[in-house]
A and B are shown apart, each in its own frame.
Chain A
Amino acid sequence: MQITVKVNGVAHTHDVEPRMLLVHFLRDVLNLTGTHIGCDTSQCGACTVLMNGKAVKSCTVFAVQADGAEITTIEGLARDGQLHPVQEGFWEMHGLQCGYCTPGMIMTAVDLLQRIPNPTEEQIRHYLEGNLCRCTGYQNIVRAVQYAAEKMRA
């Protein structure tokens, strides 16, 4: 099937198998390997991207379902060489160790702050339930999101 997907502001038209997952489309067709794969049951959230502005797990979306959609991946988050406040928060607050869950975690946090600009710690922890991190114990991820929230409100 032919699909056209706008990824990080650029339109891409490709023929794909109907069964191809969006995450494989991004990684293997477009070579955007910043979106990671950590499971096969949609639990880990490493593959989270924004689809039409909302966080989705790209392993749970077929590429054909993204036909006509706008996708933002981790590669498209920084603008004009400026890190997104969430990216900055992860760096400032040591919100990552191995970095494998990080792209998905950041995309979910971006989605969170769009919906709840001033979240409590409990709200942050609840919102990140679909994203697993094995390194940080989440403490500094929470701080990273708080940092970004503050920065974005300023």
Chain B
Amino acid sequence: MAVTKLFGASVKRREDPRLITGRGNFTDHIRLPGTLFMALKRSPHAHARIVRVDVSKARAMPGVVAVYTGQDLVDKLAPVPCAWLIPNSDLKVPSYRALAVDKVRYVGDAVAAVVAENRYVAEDALEAIDVEYEVLPAIVDQEQATQDGAPQLYDDVPNNIAFHWKLHAGDFDSAWNQAEVKLSRRLINHRLIPTAMEPRGALAHYNPGTGDLTIWCTSQNPHVHRLLLSAVTGIPETRIRVIATDVGGGFGSKIPMYSGEMLASAISRDLGRPIKWFESRRENYVATTHGRDHIQYVDLAATREGKVTGIRVKSYANLGAYLSTASPGVPTWLFGLMLCGAYAIPAVHVDVFGVVTNTTPTDAYRGAGRPEATYLLERMMDLLARELGMDPADIRRKNFVPKEQFPYTTATGLQYDSGNYEATLDRALELVNYQQLRREQEELRAQGRYLGIGFSTYVEVCGLAPSAAAGAMGFQGGLWESATVRVHPSGKVSVFTGSNPHGQGEETTFAQIVADELGISIDDVEIVHGDTEMIPFGMGTYGSRSLAVGGTAVIMATRKVKEKATKIAAHLLEVAPEDVTFENGRFFVKGAPDRAKTFQEVAGAAYLAWSMPEGVTPGLEETHFHDPINNTFPFGCHICVAEVDADTGKVSFRKYVAVDDVGNVVNPMIVDGQVHGGIAQGLAQAVYEYAAYDENGQLLTATLMDYAVPKASMLPRFDVDRTVTPTPVNPMGAKGAGETGTIASTPAVANAIIDALSPFGIDHLDIPLTPERIWRAVQERRG
């Protein structure tokens, strides 16, 4: 596509005026007369048998309209669905009731729902519900959960193993047997809490007269939620409307189907009244999905020259107490397929055990599987460099897939679309002034100061596709996206997209690409998203897919519009369509630019339809469902420079450089913002955030007081730069930028800190590298 005036421009966001004036359309802002508030009674125990639920006192309280227990809803609501049924893994999907019936399996498992005149009364009534529990031993650690004699969550999930997934590509055994260098490590990729600033919630309104259910909810994928709500409530899809216009962040946590939305819908139908439910932050922390949580055993085989010849991983993935919507796919496909990273590794053996424990269910969290793979690889590359006395930059360079080899098929079977990995490394080295930095590191060490330089040369997968691959992976959906481009008689354009941005800015970027395609003002383009009644169908926004997949659907639909408009213009100009050129919003006769019709004139003519070409119907509107031919693979190099105070364990960040390659960029300002936010989350995993449970399954970090979401003062400034290697997968050449920062930054930061600590003989510490952890490690070495 020709790069025209808006593609590549930092256009200010069109969503901002409403958001900076307090006029966003977030779920909790919607008011309907007669609304009742629903609150959920949640289990304080990680594992217990429900002996008795006495709701009589709560029911009798003034202002309480109804109280439901699990038993009351067994026939009215099917279990919470799991939609990623990975094949060949002996997958077991235990029943996950919106309200627990016989047992509770994590702190936060819901046991009863109160519906009352307002939130204050509903919360009071929760206190009046008396639940008798028979407390059972709990299991939190996923590795221990697989041992004989560990507490069992389900009778039919022996050793708590919900699946065993394997991907054995290449001949690892002979690589290992012949390896000159063998490295083995146990790595922990700990549990995180996504913490979108807007908690989850819903307002469900069932109209008993029409049988329609309208639900406003905090969703990254409204159509998927409509389909799943239909499946669990039995209300036909045609009778459900899901609306999620402004969503206050998601990071994966607003993809799954949850009990709250299901209960609000079922109870609204039961009572014929609108039901509002909105999480408190504490509820969000115990009952909205968590992310990561792997224990990984890694064996790396290499030559003495530093060439990696094979990698073997056995990972225990903590799924939590139940299988959330996409949970089986995240620690398997999204992790295992990416274990070659940016390197030409011929043999990869992965075994993943998905384990149920008495913890909050886990699912996608920004990066979803790829950060787990990238951290593992980038940490191992540093260990290999250390083992061989090589520079960490050199060991990476030695193993990179060379740029001449793209498209490149990995041992795991992915086809990397395009890449130039060395270019990002070179640029990042230049930006940090690497040689000078290493000299300074030496000088500081002589003064007893510990500076570290950490690398991450990552590659990731975005815009998961095609749908046939989704099917082969057991994902119960397609991975295409839809768009409808409706040109109104005035020539103004409404674009209906199945993507559902919640901070990513597609109301702006999609309008940029449509305005370019049609040669009209961006002010004449409206992007509509987040309403199932207005959009054909949408798979939603996650996995950095909106531009690469949703944006391509928009372009293709726009091109269909142009094609039809060209026919109409040709008819009006009394020439053949081949003789018409379309440029800058004008259709004109080739060689006679004065004989022209504007886009607006043609739009008007399409609706007047007084004189249409033969076989062309009135109106100007097209829909396109785009199923990409492949994924896209952004890549880059992040370098973190940090200083560690060996006496206190405190880390201070000196410099952070990110050189990413996300292909062509529609709006650099927005991509920079995505990268900043992504780095912040990944850096936080390396040094701050940690979802901690005690051995009884109590979440110790259940509030924002205890869980260390970084504050402005805890983060450095990020220097962001890019190289551009377009993808051939879509007409824009754009790859996706939503997760690069999160995927890249955790290992860059960890590697910097461990590099700083190398004079103490430390070559690995598990993240998060808190002052305490660092201080203890240093003390141990100092003796």
Q: Residue A5 at the B interface, CB < 8 A?
A: no
Q: Is the CB of B197 within 8 A of A74?
A: no
| Residue from A92, A99, A124, A134 within 8 A of B195 (CB atoms) | A134
A75 to B19, CA, bound (A): 10
Q: Is the CB of B26 within 8 A of A19?
A: no
Point out the residues of chain B lying under 8 angstroms from A97, CB to CB: 249, 503-505, 673-674, 677
Point out the residues of chain A lying under 8 angstroms from B195, CB to CB: 134
Looking at chain A's contact residues, the main secondary structure is: loop
What are 28 A-B interface contacts by the 8 Å CB criterion?
Answer: A33-B28, A36-B197, A36-B248, A38-B197, A40-B703, A44-B197, A44-B281, A73-B22, A77-B21, A83-B21, A91-B17, A97-B505, A97-B677, A98-B248, A99-B20, A100-B196, A100-B198, A100-B249, A102-B19, A102-B20, A125-B711, A128-B713, A134-B249, A134-B251, A135-B503, A137-B680, A139-B676, A140-B676
Q: Residue B120 at the A interface, CB < 8 A?
A: yes
Q: How many residues of B contact A (CB 8 A)?
A: 57
Q: Residue B12 at the A interface, CB < 8 A?
A: yes
Q: Is the CB of A100 within 8 A of B26?
A: yes
A52 to B672, CA, bound (A): 37
Point out the residues of chain B lying under 8 angstroms from A40, CB to CB: 280-282, 703
Q: Is the CB of A94 within 8 A of B22?
A: no
Residue of B nearest to A103 (CB): B22
Q: Residue A113 at the B interface, CB < 8 A?
A: no
A103 to B23, CA, bound (A): 10
Q: Is the CB of A125 within 8 A of B198?
A: no
Interface residues of A in 3-57 (CB under 8 A from B): 17, 19-20, 24, 27-28, 31-41, 43-44, 46
Q: Residue A63 at the B interface, CB < 8 A?
A: no
Q: Is the CB of B16 within 8 A of A91?
A: yes
A43 to B702, CA, bound (A): 13
Point out the residues of chain A lying under 8 angstroms from B21, CB to CB: 34, 74-75, 77-78, 83, 87
Point out the residues of chain B lying under 8 angstroms from A138, CB to CB: 676, 680, 712, 715
Q: How many residues of A contact B (CB 8 A)?
A: 59
Q: Is the CB of B712 within 8 A of A135?
A: no
Q: Kindly list 9 other residue pairs between chains A and B, CB separation below 8 angstroms, not including A98-B503, A131-B712, A137-B677.
A: A20-B120, A39-B703, A74-B20, A97-B504, A98-B247, A99-B19, A100-B198, A139-B717, A140-B672
Chain A proximity mask over B181-215: 1 for CB below 8 Å, otherwise 0: 00000000000000111110000000000000000
Minimal beta-carbon separation of A49 from chain B (angstroms) = 10
Q: Is the CB of B703 within 8 A of A43?
A: yes
Interface residues of A in 110-136 (CB under 8 A from B): 121-122, 124-126, 128-129, 131-136
Interface residues of B in 447-506 (CB under 8 A from A): 502-505
A87 to B16, CA, bound (A): 9
Q: Is the CB of B680 within 8 A of A98?
A: no
A78 to B669, CA, bound (A): 25
| Residue from B20, B28, B674, B715 within 8 A of A37 (CB atoms) | B28
Q: Is the CB of B22 within 8 A of A34?
A: yes
Interface residues of A in 82-98 (CB under 8 A from B): 83, 87, 90-92, 94, 96-98
Q: Is the CB of B199 within 8 A of A137?
A: no
Q: Is the CB of A43 within 8 A of B704?
A: yes
Point out the residues of chain A lying under 8 angstroms from B197, CB to CB: 36, 38, 44, 46, 98, 100-101, 132-135
Known: A40-B281, A43-B704. A139 touches B718 (CB 8 A): yes
Point out the residues of chain B lying under 8 angstroms from A90, CB to CB: 16, 20
A77 to B741, CA, bound (A): 34
Known: A39-B281, A39-B703. A92 touches B713 (CB 8 A): no
Q: Residue B670 at the A interface, CB < 8 A?
A: yes
A43 to B717, CA, bound (A): 23
A134 to B741, CA, bound (A): 13
Most buried by A among B17, B120, B503: B503
Q: Residue B385 at the A interface, CB < 8 A?
A: no
Minimal beta-carbon separation of B745 from chain A (angstroms) = 10
Q: Residue A149 at the B interface, CB < 8 A?
A: no
Residue of B nearest to A43 (CB): B704
Minimal beta-carbon separation of B289 from chain A (angstroms) = 15
Q: Is the CB of B709 within 8 A of A132?
A: yes
Known: A99-B248, A102-B19, A102-B20. A135 touches B281 (CB 8 A): no
